[in-house]
Amino acid sequence: MALRFLSPISRHALISAPVAMTMCLGVARAEPAAESKTAPAPLPLSVQPSAQESVPPHPVPSPVPAMTGTPPAAVAAPAPKKSREVPAPVYAKVSEDPTPTLTPATFLATMRMAEHYKALADAGGWSQVPAGLTLKPGDRNPAVAALRGHLVMTGDLAADATHSDIYDDTLVAAVKSFQQRHGLPESGLVQRLTVAALNVPASVRQRQLAATVERLIGSKFPFGERYVVVNIPSATVETVENGAVARRYVAVVGKPDKATPSVETRVTDVNLNPTWTLPVSVIKNEIIPTMRKNPGYLVKNHIRMLGPGGVEVDSTTFDWSGEKAVNYTLRQDSGFDNSLGQLRIDMPNKFAVYMHDTPSKSLFAGNVRFHSHGCVRVGQVKEFAAWLLQGTEGPNGPGSTWGPIEIESGIATGEKRDIKLVKSVPVTFVYLTGYATPDGRAHFRDDIYGLDTPGTPAPSAATDVVTTGSITPRAVIKPARAGQPAPAATDLVPAARPVTSTKPASAPAARPDTGHRTPAATPVEGAVERAFLPPGLVGRRG
């Protein structure tokens, strides 16, 4: 009613304003109008957008009716169309160096490098560069001299290179070499992370190399023509074929208080559409307290409660006041939202850890990727699985193969399927914070678990296990008390009642108690983890 008391110009402004505001705020992915458009914030150097991503078209505003003597009705902006397409994942950029992190020559090469760095440390090491130093090509700075001296000592820059205070192309190339050896984005820009790595003393680097030598002593890993290396501090997965890296994948590994353990075993199967059976520890420590507050919690997260004989129980009417639930099987349905994602890599080992997909693919974009509870989440896991399945008969019989498309099609059926590798592939989870490659270069990563400090115990085996609907639960070992013998076979009890099982799994070897407990014992994926839940309920999912 008040509009008729305004002039035509004022009425036009009032009617147009909501339209313009709605176009800016109501369209989720639309760019702002040209006259108010600002440049988007640049992505982090380590994050490269996927080729499948595209910039949405500029919205075309609806025309505003011409003003007449009669005030027009308010013009409502069209409802934004919600895209059903899942955004393409973004992965942190990792090195394309074909030299594997771990080879049969790594032990001796690292031992020699440790001796070299000891000599550098004994000679006084290198000079520090200013903490706030930033350099881009062409910059002139007095600190360039210290930078040159450091890179000459570490072999990234030739000793006879031109000396000046200009950050020239030769020095930029040397910095990229340094960044590659330290797992940093190879930008050639000297910024905070690069400066921090430059200022680590030579004595610390020597200690990292020496610690790696100690951890590799006694390794019996069967390298072979094809094998997989997961370097935990690098948070990467390498597929090695004929002595070279066929592909290096971004990974998410255990957080410092839920460390991924060192493992040497073999990949035996690829599981499509796995279900996830919750460990007893999760039921006791997480589910029971949560269900007392929110009885609909399991239903909302597609977790079934199964009693004797696999009969489903109504979790919303179950008595959660006590701890009777630990005697039931809680199983999360397979699907895109499953904690294991759509694919699991089976690699039997005493720690009950493995590699798998994840719904939380946004974690693959970060430089810091220590978020899991012991297992290794693999970016582009379907391509990784296809590499593992080379030589294994595909879904269409003799002559067919398991490529990413065939794996995707198998997942699309929604059926659980275990694909046995025609030949198992050796896999090792290693903790290499400092190591040397046969080409005489030293590589360093952050000591995320603090294991390089003398006397720090390595992560120990879990006492609870995660199972899937495809894999029979492995046994849980009742730990022996100090002075008692190792547990016998009769002491082995299942962690959870299996719902379906297509193949038996042998119990792990008994592990006697050593008289102490590691503070950060490695639990299995999901154990005491709120991460298997959808976002917004308890915490991050994984």
Q: Residue-wise pLDDT tens for the chain (542 aa)?
A: 444 444 444 444 444 444 333 333 333 333 333 333 344 333 333 333 333 333 334 444 444 444 445 455 555 666 666 555 667 889 888 888 999 999 999 999 999 999 999 999 999 999 999 999 999 999 999 999 999 999 999 999 998 887 889 999 999 999 999 999 999 989 999 999 999 999 999 999 999 999 999 999 989 999 999 999 999 999 999 999 999 999 999 999 999 988 999 999 999 999 999 988 887 878 998 899 999 999 999 998 899 999 998 899 999 999 999 999 999 999 998 887 778 888 999 999 999 899 998 888 888 988 889 998 889 999 999 999 999 999 999 998 888 999 999 999 999 998 999 999 999 999 999 999 999 999 999 999 999 999 998 766 665 444 334 444 444 333 333 333 334 343 333 333 333 333 333 333 333 333 333 333 333 333 334 433 333 333 222 223 33
For residues 161 and 277, state if they share a domain. no
Same structural domain for residues 405 and 363? yes
CATH code of the domain containing 156: 1.10.101.10
User: Which pLDDT does position 79 carry in this prediction?
Assistant: 65
Q: What is the pLDDT of residue 510?
A: 37
The encoded tokens of residue 373 equal 């509870």
Interacting residues of 295 by C-beta distance below 8 A, sequence separation 6+: 315, 316, 320
Cβ atoms of 356 and 525 within 8 Å: the answer is: yes
Intra-chain end-to-end CA distance of the chain, in Å: 55
pLDDT for position 157:
94
Give the model's pLDDT for residue 163: 82
Query: Strand 276-277 and strand 329-332: pairing?
Result: antiparallel
| Residue 278 confidence (pLDDT) | 85
> Is the full-model pTM beyond 0.75?
no
The predicted structure's pLDDT at residue 52: 33
Work out the angle between the directed axes of helices 106-122 and 202-216 (0-180°, nearest 10): 150
Residue 290 lies in a domain: yes
Same domain, 157 and 284: no
Report the CATH number that the domain containing residue 384 is assigned in CATH.
2.40.440.10
- Quote the pLDDT of residue 78: 65
Q: 523, 462 in Cβ contact below 8 A?
A: yes
For residue 445, give both structure tokens.
Answer: 């990563």
- Residue 183 in 3-state DSSP? coil
Contact partners, residue 255, CB within 8 Å, separation at least 6: 370, 371, 372, 373
Tokens 């962690």 — which residue?
495
How many structural domains does the chain have? 2
DSSP element (H, E) containing 387: helix 381-388
Query: What's the sign of the alpha-carbon dihedral 33, 38, 44, 49?
Result: positive
The answer to the question of residue 70 being in a domain is no
Same domain, residue pair 231 and 192:
no
Whether residue 249 is found in the same domain as residue 327: yes
Answer yes or no: do 162 and 244 share one domain.
no
Q: Residues 150, 182, 356, 373: which is the catalytic one? A: 356
Establish if 478 belongs to a structural domain: no
24 is catalytic: no
- The verdict on 308 and 167 lying in the same domain is no
What is the pLDDT at residue 279?
A: 79
Please provide the DSSP assignment of 30-59 as one string. Answer: PPPPGGG--PPPPPPTTEE--TT--PPPPP
DSSP structure string for 392-440: S--TTSTT----HHHHHHHHHT---EEEEEEEEEEEEEE--SEEEETTT
Residues 138, 176 share a domain: yes
Q: Is residue 255 domain-shared with residue 188, that is, in the same domain?
A: no
Considering the domain boundaries, does residue 26 fall inside one? no
Domain termination site, one of 147, 167, 200: 200
Provide the token pair at 31. 């760019």
Question: Domain boundary at 200, 233, 254, which?
Answer: 200
- Give Cα 530 to chain centroid, integer Å: 16
Among 166, 200, 234, the domain boundary falls at 200
Predicted pLDDT of residue 459: 57
Q: So what's the pLDDT on residue 280?
A: 87
Q: Tell me which residue range forms the domain holding 322.
A: 225-431
Residue 375 annotated among the catalytic residues of the structure: yes
Is residue 402 a part of any domain in this protein? yes
**Are residues 182 and 296 located together in one domain of the fold?**
no
pLDDT of residue 282: 83
The answer as to whether 425 is a domain residue is yes
Sign of CA dihedral 153, 156, 161, 165: negative
Q: Look at strands 236-241 and 244-254 and give their pairing.
A: antiparallel
Same domain, 324 and 420: yes
CB atoms within 10 A of CB 487: 17
Looking at residue 373, its pLDDT comes to: 80
Which residue bears the tokens 């023509």? 225
Select which of 371, 373, 375, 443 is catalytic.
375
Residues 396 and 255 both lie in one domain:
yes
Residue 454 belongs to a domain: no
Distance from C-alpha of 475 to C-alpha of 469, rounded to nearest angstrom: 15
Residue 231 lies in a domain: yes
